[in-house]
Amino acid sequence: MSDPLLRIEHLQKSYGDEEVLKDISFEMDEGDADVLIGPSGSGKSTLLRCINRLTEPDGGDIYLDGELTSGPDYDVNDLRREVGMVFQDINLFAHLTAMENVTLGLKRVLGMGEEAAEAKAMAQLEQVGLENKAESYPAELSGGQQQRVGIARALAMDPKLMLFDEPTSSLDPELTGEVVTVMKNLAAEGMTMLVVTHEMGFARSAATQMLFLEGGYLVEQGPPGQLFDDPEKERTREFLRRITEAEAEGTI
């Protein structure tokens, strides 16, 4: 058996007196698409941000491909080259075209030449269906298109792992579909991804495992079928019932 791609052991993080992550342990194999759910404030974003160290964990270990990445010996810039991130606020570089958003990291982090970077970026934009928007600036794109550029920007670095932090939450409801479709395709192609989302449709159809986070602990994890239909914990059942209802009412 090979090592898991991502292994998290006893991860812990506090902000001041507030202990956001108390004791989190789980593993992901290469090609897994895991969905992280939980009430707001349960530490989902913090967990993702600890993995690429936008937030430094206070305790516990994180291993990527068998290597300890949470310690001071592992260079954060090397880590972030291997872990892509997609943000709720999208955060495209506002002064750069879609193409330039994607090539910046290729040129300045990976040291690729102009032509090679543009060819690679174009292929990535094609993958998210935006090859004809390469020269558009973020403000000229819809929210859904912006987020797809955000995904292309992260994918271009050929990461081992992709983190999605509520990628559709800032979008108008009619625009979430195009982003979810891109994510489903990615999962089907075998990209390892950890996704914080309220899109239960994505979770049901694409997730390998669902992880339910509450109160700083991983309360329950399992394949989506099991969590939706026969969860072990009452709290999981309750949370999923509420979120499915909200989704049906269109309030998410």
57 binds other proteins (CB under 8 A): no
56 binds other proteins (CB under 8 A): no
Toward other proteins, which CB reaches closer, 100 or 178?
100
95 binds other proteins (CB under 8 A): yes
Binding residue for other proteins (CB under 8 A) from 14, 91, 185, 208?
A: 91
Shortest distance, position 110 Cβ to other proteins, whole Å: 8
38 binds other proteins (CB under 8 A): no
| Spatial CB neighbours of 186, under 8 Å, sequence gap ≥ 6 | 33, 151, 155, 162, 193
Toward other proteins, which CB reaches closer, 20 or 227?
20
209 binds other proteins (CB under 8 A): no
Q: How many residues bind other proteins (CB under 8 A)?
A: 31
With CA atoms as reference, report the closest residue to 166 among 152, 154, 180, 178.
180
Task: Measure CA 49 to chain center.
Answer: 10
Rg of the Cα atoms in the chain? 18
* Residue 30 vs residues 12, 36, 244: alpha-carbon distances, Å: 24, 17, 29
Shortest distance, position 69 Cβ to other proteins, whole Å: 13
Toward other proteins, which CB reaches closer, 52 or 209?
52
Q: Which of 6-14, 34-42, 92-100, 238-246 is the region at the interface with other proteins (rule: CB under 8 A)?
A: 92-100
Binding residue for other proteins (CB under 8 A) from 146, 147, 192, 209?
A: 146
Shortest distance, position 4 Cβ to other proteins, whole Å: 22
What single letter denotes the amino acid at residue 15?
Y
105 binds other proteins (CB under 8 A): yes
210 binds other proteins (CB under 8 A): no
Structural contact between residues 201 and 42, judged by C-beta atoms closer than 8 angstroms: no
Binding residue for other proteins (CB under 8 A) from 13, 44, 80, 120?
A: 80
Residues 114, 102: Cα–Cα separation, whole Å? 12
157 binds other proteins (CB under 8 A): yes
Task: Quote the tokens at residue 117.
Answer: 């970077």
Structural contact between residues 168 and 149, judged by C-beta atoms closer than 8 angstroms: no
Structural contact between residues 64 and 6, judged by C-beta atoms closer than 8 angstroms: yes
Q: What are phi and psi of 228, to 5 degrees?
A: -75, -40
Residues 24, 12: Cα–Cα separation, whole Å? 7
Strand, coil or helix: 168: coil
What single letter denotes the amino acid at residue 128?
V
Shortest distance, position 88 Cβ to other proteins, whole Å: 9
- Interface positions with other proteins (CB under 8 A): 52, 54, 76-78, 80-81, 84-85, 87, 89-95, 104-105, 108-109, 136-140, 146, 150, 153-154, 157
